[in-house]
Structure 1
């Protein structure tokens, strides 16, 4: 049985919203078209690369 590789989790704060992927810390070689990630319901994954994004504990989303 093959092992499923878990993609990294990027924790973001209010200053990082709106969340998008690829994020600024990703290497240029791993680029794909920019997609916005809706983290308002907890954790969400990029549809291109599978990187998961979630809000840092205690982060409050205002105006959404």
Structure 2
């Protein structure tokens, strides 16, 4: 069971927000930790190993592969 399914909100990302990383720009500086890049494939979730923040792609998000 993911954090999001327990009722905790996940941060939803669009294709333009990739590559996904944490801490994200909206997080306050005092709660910062080393930057980690998170692997997201279409429809999946990823959880930050440092702070536990859950990230997922928005429904219908277009992922551009290089």
Matched, 1:36 2:37: yes
CA–CA distance in 1 between the matches of 2:57 and 2:49?
Answer: 18
Unmatched segments (≥5 aa) in structure 2: 1-5
- Give ranges in structure 1 of 5+ residues lacking alignment: none
- d(CA) in 1 for partners of 2:59, 2:17: 14
User: Which structure has the highest helix share of the two?
Assistant: 2
Name the counterpart of 1:10: 11
Name the TM-score, length of structure 1 as normaliser: 0.82
Question: How large is the Cα RMSD of the aligned pairs?
Answer: 1.8
Partner SS, residue 15 of structure 1: helix
Q: Which runs of 4+ in 1 moved over 3 A?
A: 5-8
How many residues are treated as equivalent by the alignment?
60
TM-score by length of 2: 0.80
- The 1:36/1:62 distance shift into structure 2, 3 A limit, reads same
**Is the radius of gyration larger for structure 1 or structure 2?**
1
Q: What is the CA-CA distance between 1:49 and the residue it aligns to?
A: 0.4
